Amino acid sequence: MNFELTEEQRAFAESANAFAASELAPHAAQWDREQIFPREAIGKAGELGFCGLYAPERIGGLALPRLDATLVFEQMAAVDPSTTAFITIHNMATWMLGSWGRPAVCERWGEDLTSGRKLASYCLTEPGAGSDAGNLKTRAELQGHEYVINGGKAFISGAGATDVLVLMARTGGGGAGGISAFALPADAPGISYGKKEHKMGWNSQPTRTIAFDNVRIPADHLLGEEGEGFRIAMKGLDGGRINIATCSVGAAQGALDAARRYLHERQQFGKPLASFQALQFKLADMATELVAARQMVRLAASKLDAGHADASTYCAMAKRFATDAGFNVCNDALQLHGGYGYLAEFPLERLVRDTRVHQILEGTNEIMRLIVARKLLESDVDIR
């Protein structure tokens, strides 16, 4: 078992670190404050291959292992978890389109998505189907050579600002087996968007509801076959859980680095804060939790890359642990900054706000516990 990164992996991480320092760090606070969606910066990420990291080569993707993708996302999330999280969602939607799209769909959008010239949103959640995704109501009816889509989606990242929607809709009966996946233009007639939600964090990416009123798309915009949608969605979510866990790890690293600097700079009672043992212990605990979370995420990514039978269980465990630990590290770093951590001049309050939602999306952490517990109780899964 080798925990060391290869030269190629280090090169990817260093490239992402340089990009984050030049294109994200100088603007992240402004994007958050003014709720700006930074399409230009995301496009520059696409020029480096970061918008199609694990998408197949047939649509211009790099086809990297998920483990390698985590190295890129972690570096960017250390300075801007919100923008990085959107880039991970775009990567997931692009991978789905490239993996299950028919030639016409891949030719129409594939290279534009992997290059970052166009962006994609992932549309699964509905007002009445959050954790219970298999109960979604949006419907797609085949009429001749077209599907007609009616229904609505909620909490869609990038909605109203992206070009392509990867949509889960019901084509058959009830339950997961009746769900299919589609790719459709975000500006198709009959699509309308709700108001931009005002959120606690993730302010550099818009979140809106989407309504579909007799939206017509060609039948060849179906991804995979009818009834495969839920399976495609769950495969996407395995990677999505690793992605959002990685964003938590990255944010925690950024927060830890800021806390280390501050403990050396700030003085109280005539001594730097770094000289107080209680604060040293807190910093040590933060670092330990961060390293544990990072290794758990990389283990889950390795399981997914290897096609391990229990990869979904590891992804759920990693998502639960890393998003909890990542938020706690950011929150502890804010505490170490005292009152200054609460000010917008320092990055801590933004990192805390941006990482809080990671415990909710891609399946709440309560659902992650349910997935792990059921697997442990219903099978002979070996977690040694």
CATH of the domain at 301: 1.20.140.10
Which pLDDT tens digit goes with each residue over 79-95?
999 999 999 999 999 99
DSSP state of 354: H
Verify that 199 and 279 share a domain, yes or no. no
Verify that 71 and 138 share a domain, yes or no. no
Verify that 338 and 364 share a domain, yes or no. yes
Residues 6+ apart with CB under 8 A from 50: 16, 19, 72, 76, 87, 116
Q: Which among 225, 362, 366, 378 is annotated as catalytic?
A: 362
Residues 6+ apart with CB under 8 A from 146: 216, 217, 218, 219
- DSSP-assigned states of every residue in 191-229: EEE-PPPP-SS-TTS-EEEEEEEEEEEEGGGEESSTT-H
Residue 58 lies in domain: 7-114
Q: Which residues of 134-162 are buried (b: 16+ CB within 10 A; e: fewer)?
A: bebebbbeeeeebbbbbbbbbbbbbbbbb
Q: Using an 8 Å Cβ cutoff, are 298 and 221 in contact?
A: no
Residue 131: predicted pLDDT:
82
Place 260 in a pLDDT band, splitting at 50, 70 and 90. Answer: very high
Mean pLDDT of all residues in 35-53:
98
Residue 228: predicted pLDDT:
96
In-domain check, residue 190:
yes
Mean pLDDT across the chain: 96
Query: pLDDT > 70: what percent of the chain?
Result: 99
Verify that 77 and 125 share a domain, yes or no. no
Residue 378: predicted pLDDT:
86
- Look at residue 380 and tell me whether its pLDDT is greater than 80: no
In-domain check, residue 2:
no
Mean pLDDT of all residues in 147-176:
96
Mean pLDDT of all residues in 112-132:
93
Verify that 159 and 299 share a domain, yes or no. no
Verify that 350 and 240 share a domain, yes or no. yes
Q: Which residue, among 287, 298, 303, 236, has the nearest Cα to 74 in the 3D structure?
A: 298
- Nearest-Å Rg of the Cα atoms of the chain is 21
Q: Is 107 a catalytic residue?
A: no
Provide the number of structural domains found in the chain.
3
Q: Which residues of 347-359 are buried (b: 16+ CB within 10 A; e: fewer)?
A: bbbbbbbbbbbbb
Verify that 257 and 134 share a domain, yes or no. no
Single residue among 114, 129, 155 that ends a domain in this structure: 114
Mean pLDDT of all residues in 239-266:
97
- Rounded to 5 degrees, φ, ψ at 132 are -90, 65
Single residue among 168, 194, 227 that ends a domain in this structure: 227
Between CA 72 and CA 249 the distance in angstroms is 12
- Look at residue 129 and tell me whether its pLDDT is greater than 90: no
Which H, E and C letters describe 67-102, residue by residue?
Answer: HHHHHHHHHHHCCCHHHHHHHHHHHHHHHHHHHHCC
- Look at residue 304 and tell me whether its pLDDT is greater than 90: yes
Residue 99: predicted pLDDT:
97
Query: pLDDT > 90: what percent of the chain?
Result: 94
Between CA 308 and CA 306 the distance in angstroms is 5
Residue 187: predicted pLDDT:
97
In-domain check, residue 184:
yes
Partner residues linked to 180 by β-bridges = 169
Q: Which residue, among 244, 215, 245, has the nearest Cα to 318 in the 3D structure?
A: 245
Between CA 119 and CA 381 the distance in angstroms is 38
Residue 13: predicted pLDDT:
96
- Look at residue 1 and tell me whether its pLDDT is greater than 70: no
In-domain check, residue 384:
no
pTM: 0.96
Alpha helices (H) in the chain, listed in sequence order: 7-19, 28-34, 39-47, 66-77, 81-100, 103-114, 229-265, 277-305, 311-336, 348-356, 365-378
Partner residues linked to 153 by β-bridges = 210
Q: Which residue, among 292, 359, 355, 357, has the nearest Cα to 320 in the 3D structure?
A: 359
| Structure tokens, 9 | 């992996």
- Look at residue 29 and tell me whether its pLDDT is greater than 70: yes
Verify that 101 and 132 share a domain, yes or no. no
Residue 382: predicted pLDDT:
73
**CATH number of the domain within which 23 lies:** 1.10.540.10
Verify that 214 and 236 share a domain, yes or no. no
Q: Which burial class, exposed, middle or buried, applies to 115 when counting CB atoms under 10 A from its CB (0-12, 13-18, 19+)?
A: middle
| Structure tokens, 289 | 């939790």
| Structure tokens, 367 | 């659902």
Which pLDDT tens digit goes with each residue over 200-241?
999 999 999 999 999 999 999 999 999 999 999 999 999 999
Verify that 78 and 22 share a domain, yes or no. yes
Q: Are strands 120-123 and 164-170 parallel, antiparallel or unpaired?
A: parallel
